[in-house]
Amino acid sequence: MRKYKLFSILAMFIIGIITLASCSSKITATGELIVLDQTRYTLTIKASLNDEAKEVTQGSVQIQLYNTDGDRKTTSNCDKLGGTSEDTTQQVTIQSLDENTPYTVKLVCTIKEHQYTIAQIEAKTNKAGSSHTEAIHITSADDFSKMANDLDGYYILDNDIALGTGNAENEGITEIEKGDLKEWTPVFSSSSSKAFTGTFDGNGHTISNFKQTSSTSDYGFFGYLAEGAQIKNINFENVYLNMTRYSDTYIGVVAGRAESGSSIENVKVSNLKIKVSTSSTSGKTFYVGGLIGQNTGGSIINSTVENLDLNIERGKVVYAGGIAGQNAMAEGKWIENCVVTGKITINQEYNNSSDFTTSTEIVQLIGGVVGKNDGRIRNTISYVNIDSKFNLDDNIVDKVYANKDSEDKSEDAEKEWKINNEINVAIGSFAGYNKGVIRSSAATGSISFESYNAYNVAIGLFCGFNVSEIQPSINHVAYFGEGRTVSVKLTSKEIAEENPKHTKTPEYDRVFKITMTGKEENNQNYFQLPTTYLRSSCEESFGKSTEISQFKGTEIDAYNAEEFNQLIAKLQELF
């Protein structure tokens, strides 16, 4: 009896397996699901059915949507699929879904009275700010706080925003700090939890009448731009940035820092005043630019800074430029098609020897477009006047200009500078220091430099100090010299002795060749101005630059004479 029961159970099990295998072997229909589009509240799904054997029951094909708990939320019939229909695809839009929510989507059909899932995918609705069509709209100053809640969102400005009443009662940027400007805290910071990676589209509108005077590491309206951040189509007017700090500081009207992979496009700045000061050399490195303080490989395109007034007092290491203080290299990223006008004034004067050691570094790299360029710049114009001073009092000179051999105490012992072996001051109307690439650009503007005891100084009409190993590193560039003045006043020891603070001005020959670069490579290709040597208290005014037609390009970088002529014409329009 037991054997009979065991045999019956085994026989039924075998029959079941055979039946299932038989059924499975007869199912040849297959399917596919693709998400064509998603919004905050909808999913558009394309269903494909391959049923050559015409197994699928007419009208049985469905797209079923489930939440993460496994509950079915919606069912959409695909009545065009299955049976004798010749259609193989059908598109369905599922509506009234939850925002920013994941779902499981199944393609289900009936074959011989059994229901089968023949395709399955995961899909998710968008969140607010996920794209231009799903953008978060900003209409007031308070709305900017929304950006901190969604760092990779897409934002559109719907109207102009005046943060203060402005300074209409005053004339000129020199009075801007007296106007009614709203104190503004940068929207983002360098903290990973507060770094912006999204898109802000100003839609051609203007943000005006704000200032930043509180201490922070990253100044600027947005503060800090991380990789992927995009700022575009926005104007800034009547802005005052005032910094007094002793730590590394980054200053620009858009942001203090922009990481590699970020972009700034179609940004226009007008009536901008930046004031930077520190009471000692304990202030470390200051990165100061009209748009960005330090650009570490982002792109800056089709942007303008007009009426810049940048003033710096002291500072240990200063990189200052009309567009960016420092511009670093990143593949395919350029500062391009930009224009800057205004003035930069820097005064590095020190009288307290306790601030200095033999390892102290005092540097000023100043350029109309960029102070220190390690990246790429092209098709850009600078019309910036630069006024710089550098002076160390006698008690400091005794410490930093000391005997080469510390053991030699004789009066005629050979002396050397103990700080800044490469460069101390580099100034150019376009770039102060270049280690990157500059193409098809033009500059003008007066340069004035005065010093009792500067050393390792490079002053160039276009670029102050060029050390780039890229060949050619600077080409297709022009300095428009009509009416411009380059003044270099390096005081001799005899004159210095009349000033009680500077009786110990070092005795060494300071001669500078003022050409397109103060110090340059042999392979440069410039519009060359008349060569002039400037010594102590000497001033020279330059005439017109060489005619465009006399310039010959290089094989390395194809030269477009028509485009370059347009660039020069644009520069001349600024006069």
The DSSP output letter for 545 is P
Query: Of the residues 80, 99, 124, which one is the last residue of a structural domain?
Result: 124
Q: Is 394 helix (H, G, I), strand (E, B) or coil?
A: helix
Pair 120, 143 in one domain: no
- Contact between 55 and 112 under an 8 Å Cβ cutoff? The reply is yes
Q: Is 341 helix (H, G, I), strand (E, B) or coil?
A: strand
d(CA 296, CA 289): 13
The DSSP output letter for 100 is T
The CATH number that applies at residue 195 is 2.160.20.110
**Residue 19 lies inside a defined structural domain of this protein:** no
Report, as an integer, the average pLDDT of 178-195.
76
**Residue 171 lies inside a defined structural domain of this protein:** yes
Q: Which two tokens stand for residue 363?
A: 């540097």
Q: Which two tokens stand for residue 328?
A: 């670093």
Query: What is the pLDDT, as a whole number, of residue 352?
Result: 66
- Contact between 218 and 224 under an 8 Å Cβ cutoff? The reply is yes
> Does the pLDDT of residue 497 top 90, yes or no?
no
Question: Beta-strand (E) ranges in 15-98?
Answer: 30-38, 43-50, 62-66, 72-77, 89-94
Radius of gyration of the chain measured on its C-alpha atoms: 34
- Contact between 360 and 420 under an 8 Å Cβ cutoff? The reply is no
Report, as an integer, the average pLDDT of 400-416.
74
Query: In 10 A of CB 74, how many CB atoms?
Result: 17
Pair 306, 170 in one domain: yes
Which residues are paired to 336 by β-bridges? 301, 378
- Contact between 319 and 325 under an 8 Å Cβ cutoff? The reply is yes
- Global confidence as pTM: 0.74
Which residues are paired to 293 by β-bridges? none
d(CA 134, CA 150): 13
> Does the pLDDT of residue 149 top 70, yes or no?
yes
> Does the pLDDT of residue 458 top 90, yes or no?
no
d(CA 537, CA 518): 17
Pair 348, 320 in one domain: yes
High-pLDDT (> 90) share of the chain, %? 38
Query: Of the residues 104, 124, 144, which one is the last residue of a structural domain?
Result: 124
Query: What is the pLDDT, as a whole number, of residue 128?
Result: 74
Chain-centroid distance, C-alpha 17: 66
Query: Of 427, 443, 447, which Cα lies nearest the Cα of 478?
Result: 443
> Does the pLDDT of residue 537 top 90, yes or no?
no
Pair 222, 369 in one domain: yes
**Residue 16 lies inside a defined structural domain of this protein:** no
| Burial of 514 per CB tally in 10 Å (0-12, 13-18, 19+) | buried
- Flag the least confident range among 331-340, 385-394, 557-566: 557-566
Query: Of the residues 124, 146, 167, which one is the last residue of a structural domain?
Result: 124
Pair 46, 194 in one domain: no
**Residue 523 lies inside a defined structural domain of this protein:** yes
**Residue 463 lies inside a defined structural domain of this protein:** yes
Pair 442, 547 in one domain: yes
d(CA 82, CA 556): 63
Question: What are the distances in angstroms from CA 561 to CA 452, 462, 552?
Answer: 43, 19, 9
Q: Is 326 helix (H, G, I), strand (E, B) or coil?
A: strand
Pair 287, 394 in one domain: yes
Pair 85, 169 in one domain: no
Q: Which residues of 240-273 are buried (b: 16+ CB within 10 A; e: fewer)?
A: bbbbebeeebbbbbbbbbbbbbbbbbbbbbbbbb
**Residue 4 lies inside a defined structural domain of this protein:** no
d(CA 291, CA 322): 8
Considering its fold, how many domains does the chain have in total? 2
d(CA 297, CA 257): 10
Pair 147, 179 in one domain: yes
Query: Of 235, 210, 443, 493, which Cα lies nearest the Cα of 321?
Result: 443
Report, as an integer, the average pLDDT of 540-548.
30
**Residue 9 lies inside a defined structural domain of this protein:** no
Q: Which helix (H) or strand (E) holds 564?
A: helix 561-573
Query: What is the pLDDT, as a whole number, of residue 291?
Result: 97
**Residue 408 lies inside a defined structural domain of this protein:** no
Query: What is the pLDDT, as a whole number, of residue 479?
Result: 72
Report pLDDT digits (tens) over 92-108.
999 988 888 999 999 99
Pair 77, 203 in one domain: no
Report pLDDT digits (tens) over 248-290.
889 999 999 999 999 999 999 999 999 998 765 555 789 999 9
Q: Is 492 helix (H, G, I), strand (E, B) or coil?
A: coil
Q: Is 15 helix (H, G, I), strand (E, B) or coil?
A: helix
pLDDT, greater one: 469 or 110: 110
- Which domain does 52 fall in, by range? 30-124
Report, as an integer, the average pLDDT of 355-374.
84
Pair 38, 151 in one domain: no
Query: What is the pLDDT, as a whole number, of residue 303?
Result: 97
Query: What is the pLDDT, as a whole number, of residue 10?
Result: 60
Report pLDDT digits (tens) over 319-355.
999 999 999 988 888 999 999 999 999 998 777 666 6
High-pLDDT (> 70) share of the chain, %? 70
Terminal CA-CA length for the chain = 114
Query: In 10 A of CB 341, how many CB atoms?
Result: 21
Which pLDDT band, with edges at 50, 70 and 90, does 499 fall under? low
The CATH number that applies at residue 45 is 2.60.40.10
d(CA 357, CA 418): 9
Q: Is 33 helix (H, G, I), strand (E, B) or coil?
A: strand
Report pLDDT digits (tens) over 42-76.
899 999 999 988 999 988 999 999 999 999 999 99
Which pLDDT band, with edges at 50, 70 and 90, does 8 fall under? low
d(CA 521, CA 46): 61
Phi, psi of 546 (to 5 degrees): -60, 145
Query: Of 404, 395, 448, 453, which Cα lies nearest the Cα of 424?
Result: 453
Q: Which two tokens stand for residue 12?
A: 């039924």
Pair 110, 156 in one domain: no
> Does the pLDDT of residue 542 top 70, yes or no?
no
